């Protein structure tokens, strides 16, 4: 998929028809071709190791036949009667007149020769690794080549066993059949069975089958024969129609929506639809099938064509794209997986991609300024979510880093520039909550959630004791200046509120306010800390925001739970760092509150370009539950030191995806190394030991060799063992990750994992 939406007539159709095979988590599926395992070549040493024992065996067998040693018949004489042999000879058989078997020693000699041949063949096969070598060259080949090669090898072996059946060959038979016939003679004590044609033919058949059996398994003859028979017996059926490409909307045709399919096909061919339109219509079709509203779907398509179900903003694309997107799979490509040796084969040189399945487990990215967090991660992910929102598939909220807005303004439906008087929208301080306790919990998390000195429950109670009475009197929650005055304990504000409650006769809320008045100024009162933090926002620059006197339209983050909105919040800069962090915590707390409500089909994601100061104990606990709520967050940090040390372990455990950019410190790298754990690897250690000779001649040769080579004579001691090592050490993350790269691990909401691997962010 190009960086821009496909516009030419064939571009959209080509994009739709491109294969997207199933792949491992994090692999760019558009046009992906799973790599084929390169067959391992047998090393020359292995081939030589097969041929050398064969040559030695031929020499040994030649010497055996000549009887060059007096010990080769020792076992034969040990297991046979002495009267079968002439005295004073090694193995010269006697001939007995009048017996059924005149020379049993001669028959025993033939059997012994056959056993020796069998032992020699077995020894050569084991020493030469014949099974592994032959399997390497034959078993990996496709049929019918595999079966044919095995058949040729079987014929070659049979030509040695039954050379008379092959007129072309001229060698003598190997001792296989003759030892069996001699064994028959000794067992039956006669040659009667030898004269039976039925017996000899049966014996020949059995020998032939025994010879063919290993080659039949090697060549897979039986499975291949079954395949051929099944194909021949298959009932001929009418030619199946060729599968339609996706650009012709076959799913619609399968349910009888031919008119809609033809109309959409025409618009795709003419270039009237882009990738956003196609994906949006497919989502609408899937929803219509689930809801059994296909008739309404057809009517809408026939009436509006590719513009059906357009986003409420009217946008059908982004003006500019900086990354490659595949909306059918929901993926955005952020780079290329490294082709290093430790990279699993499916990932080598494949595209690296993110999608809602992995963002649903939340992602933590750590890297120093300039490492590419915004350019290579935050911006592509934001683009992908904004495009997906145009298809109705998700809602996205982006909190930009101070002074660095993410993406173009045209990519968003709502832009809140806090501190900018020209901002068209204001942020609702309470996320349109109607429950004082819920609103108090949101504010408490934003104001003092990062403070260890203020109890979370105490802060919630303090705020609820003010928000509840105020709402009971005015029918709304207080604006930021009004709330600040109440927390400061201003007598005018509190007395006016108390009088209004007394006049209304609301005793319950009056008791709440009285409890707050009694606690004001007491030791451990959270009101002072809340007021101090709220004072950061109660500044002239923010006077038009948070329910102040400005004319900007208030926007509630609760809307993202119901609509596929694209929202960007620009936090203030130039001396308002603490206020920016407080606003970021407020957005994160509101996000956690709104995603818990109700059931929705679209994915919701919060992107924090700078999450410094946003991570609190409460937010970490809630991040863990986002994957079950069809939501996720992306947290970008300059260093893990921006998070309280007590939360390092819980934070790394709460997120399913972790990304370490180049340039992280060894201290930050150690946190990633701990979270990624260890793996078992095979190591080879070679130790060289000097050889000390005892014999004068050997010492002389060693001295000459050392004089020529300049090195002492040594032997190598090789130790291969399994050791447990870190997947990525802190030192490797700090010093071995090249510029423009990052180490990324992924976990999908389904539990599928991608190990921490190196990613080229420019690939």
Mean pLDDT value across residues 145-157: 84
Across 435-447, b (16+ Cβ under 10 Å) vs e yields ebebbbbbbbbbb
**More confident call, 134 vs 610:** 610
- Domain-wise residue ranges, the chain: 44-139+144-219, 245-310, 452-542
Nearest alpha-carbon partner for 285 in 295, 277, 297, 296: 297
Mean pLDDT value across residues 323-349: 90
CA 671 to the chain's CA centroid: 21
**Dist. CA 709–CA 702, nearest whole Å:** 10
Contact indicator for 608, 584 with CB cutoff of 8 Å: yes
Per DSSP, helices labelled H in 505-542 are 507-519, 527-535
pLDDT-derived band at 3, boundaries 50, 70, 90: low
Question: Among all chains, which residue has been given the structure tokens 């069809």?
Answer: 630
SS3 150: helix
What's the alpha-carbon Rg for the chain, to the nearest Å? 41
| % of the chain at pLDDT higher than 70 | 93
Q: Is the pLDDT of residue 614 over 70?
A: yes
pLDDT of residue 154: 83
Q: Is the pLDDT of residue 9 over 50?
A: no
pLDDT of residue 234: 61
Q: Give me 397's structure tokens.
A: 């909220």
pLDDT of residue 549: 66
**Dist. CA 69–CA 80, nearest whole Å:** 19
pLDDT of residue 521: 74
**Dist. CA 388–CA 395, nearest whole Å:** 8
pLDDT of residue 376: 92
pLDDT of residue 47: 62
**Eight-class DSSP state of 244:** P
**More confident call, 603 vs 454:** 603
592 burial level (CB within 10 Å; 0-12, 13-18, 19+): buried
Mean pLDDT value across residues 175-198: 78
Highest mean pLDDT range out of 75-79, 369-373, 450-454, 688-692?
Answer: 369-373
Q: Give me 256's structure tokens.
A: 């009888």
User: Partners of 401 in the beta sheet?
Assistant: 404
Query: How far from each other are the two terminal CA atoms of the chain, in whole angstroms?
Result: 15
Nearest alpha-carbon partner for 677 in 758, 756, 759, 757: 756
Q: In the predicted model, what is the mean pLDDT of the chain?
A: 84
Give tens-digit pLDDT for 357-408.
Answer: 999 999 999 999 988 899 999 999 999 999 999 999 999 999 988 778 888 8
| % of the chain at pLDDT higher than 90 | 29
- Least confident range of 65-74, 457-466, 577-586: 65-74
Q: Is the pLDDT of residue 65 over 80?
A: no
**More confident call, 634 vs 89:** 634
Torsion of CA 380, 385, 389, 394, to 10 degrees: 170
pLDDT of residue 38: 62
Highest mean pLDDT range out of 639-643, 677-681, 712-716?
Answer: 639-643
Largest Cα–Cα distance in the chain?
141
Torsion of CA 598, 601, 606, 607, to 10 degrees: 180
Q: What angle do CA 618, 470, 567 make, to 5 degrees?
A: 50
Nearest alpha-carbon partner for 308 in 339, 277, 286, 283: 277
pLDDT of residue 37: 66
**Dist. CA 47–CA 237, nearest whole Å:** 49
Q: Is the pLDDT of residue 718 over 80?
A: no
pLDDT of residue 156: 84
pLDDT of residue 672: 92
């Amino acid at each position: 998929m190009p960086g821009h939406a496909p516009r030419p007539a064939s571009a959209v159709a080509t994009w739709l028809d491109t294969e997207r095979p199933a792949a491992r988590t994090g692999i760019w599926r558009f046009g992906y071709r799973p790599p084929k395992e390169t067959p391992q070549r047998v090393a020359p040493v292995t081939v030589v190791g097969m041929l050398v024992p064969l040559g030695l065996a031929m020499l040994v067998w030649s010497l055996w036949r000549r009887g060059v040693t007096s010990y080769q018949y020792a076992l034969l004489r040990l297991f046979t009667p002495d009267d079968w042999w002439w005295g004073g000879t090694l193995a010269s058989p006697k001939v007995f007149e009048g017996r059924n078997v005149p020379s049993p020693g001669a028959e025993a000699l033939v059997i012994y020769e056959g056993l020796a041949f069998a032992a020699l063949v077995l020894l050569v096969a084991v020493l030469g690794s014949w099974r592994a070598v032959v399997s390497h060259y034959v078993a990996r080949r496709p049929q019918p080549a595999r079966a044919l090669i095995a058949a040729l090898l079987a014929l070659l072996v049979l030509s040695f066993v039954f050379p008379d059946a092959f007129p072309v060959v001229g060698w003598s038979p190997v001792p296989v059949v003759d030892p069996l016939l001699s064994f028959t003679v000794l067992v039956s004590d006669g040659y009667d069975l030898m004269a039976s044609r039925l017996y000899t033919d049966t014996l020949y058949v059995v020998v032939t089958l025994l010879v063919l059996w290993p080659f039949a398994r090697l060549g897979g003859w039986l499975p291949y024969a079954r395949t051929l028979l099944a194909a021949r017996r298959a009932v001929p059926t009418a030619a199946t129609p060729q599968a339609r490409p996706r650009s012709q909307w076959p799913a619609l045709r399968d349910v009888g929506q031919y008119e809609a399919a033809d109309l959409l096909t025409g618009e795709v061919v003419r270039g009237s639809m882009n990738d956003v339109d196609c994906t949006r219509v497919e989502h609408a079709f899937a929803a219509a099938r689930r809801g059994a509203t296909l008739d309404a779907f057809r009517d809408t398509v026939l009436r509006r064509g590719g513009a059906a179900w357009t986003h409420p903003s009217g946008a059908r694309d982004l003006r500019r794209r900086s990354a490659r997107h595949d909306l059918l799979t929901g993926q955005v490509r952020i780079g290329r997986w490294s082709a290093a040796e430790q990279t699993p084969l499916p990932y080598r040189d494949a595209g690296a991609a993110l999608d809602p399945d992995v963002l649903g487990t939340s992602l933590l990215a750590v890297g120093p300024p300039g490492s590419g967090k915004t350019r290579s991660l935050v911006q592509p992910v934001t683009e992908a979510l904004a495009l997906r929102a145009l298809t109705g598939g998700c809602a996205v909220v982006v909190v930009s880093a101070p002074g660095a807005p993410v993406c173009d303004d045209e990519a968003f439906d709502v832009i809140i520039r806090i501190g900018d008087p020209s901002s068209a929208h204001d942020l609702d301080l309470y996320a349109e909550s109607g429950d004082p306790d819920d609103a108090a919990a949101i504010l408490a998390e934003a104001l003092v959630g990062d403070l260890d000195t203020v109890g979370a429950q105490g802060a919630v109670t303090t705020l609820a004791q003010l928000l509840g009475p105020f709402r009971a009197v005015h029918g709304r929650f207080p604006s930021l200046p009004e709330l600040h005055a109440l927390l400061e304990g201003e007598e005018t504000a509190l007395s006016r509120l108390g009088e209004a409650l007394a006049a209304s006769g609301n005793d319950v809320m009056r008791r709440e306010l009285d409890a707050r008045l009694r606690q004001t100024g007491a030791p451990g009162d959270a009101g002072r800390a809340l007021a101090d933090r709220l004072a950061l926002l109660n500044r002239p620059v923010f006077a038009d925001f948070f329910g102040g006197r400005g004319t900007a339209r208030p926007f509630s983050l609760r809307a993202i739970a119901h609509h596929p909105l694209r929202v960007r919040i620009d936090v203030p800069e130039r001396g308002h760092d603490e206020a920016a962090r407080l606003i970021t915590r407020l957005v994160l707390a509101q996000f956690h509150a709104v995603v818990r409500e109700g059931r929705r089909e679209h994915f919701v994601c919060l992107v924090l370009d700078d999450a410094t100061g946003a991570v609190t104990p409460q937010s970490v606990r809630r991040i863990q539950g986002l994957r079950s709520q069809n939501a996720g967050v992306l947290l970008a940090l300059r260093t893990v030191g921006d998070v309280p040390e007590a939360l390092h372990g819980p934070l790394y455990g709460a997120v399913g995806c972790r990304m370490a950019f180049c340039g992280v410190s060894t201290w930050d790298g150690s946190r990633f190394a701990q979270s990624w754990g260890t793996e078992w690897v095979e190591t080879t250690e070679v130790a060289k030991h000097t050889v000390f000779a005892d014999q004068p001649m050997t010492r002389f040769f060693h001295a000459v060799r050392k004089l020529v080579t300049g090195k002492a004579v040594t032997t190598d001691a090789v130790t291969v063992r399994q050791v447990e090592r870190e997947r990525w050490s802190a030192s490797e993350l700090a010093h071995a990750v090249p510029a423009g790269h990052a180490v990324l691990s992924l976990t999908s909401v389904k539990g599928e994992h991608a190990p921490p691997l190196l990613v080229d962010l420019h690939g």
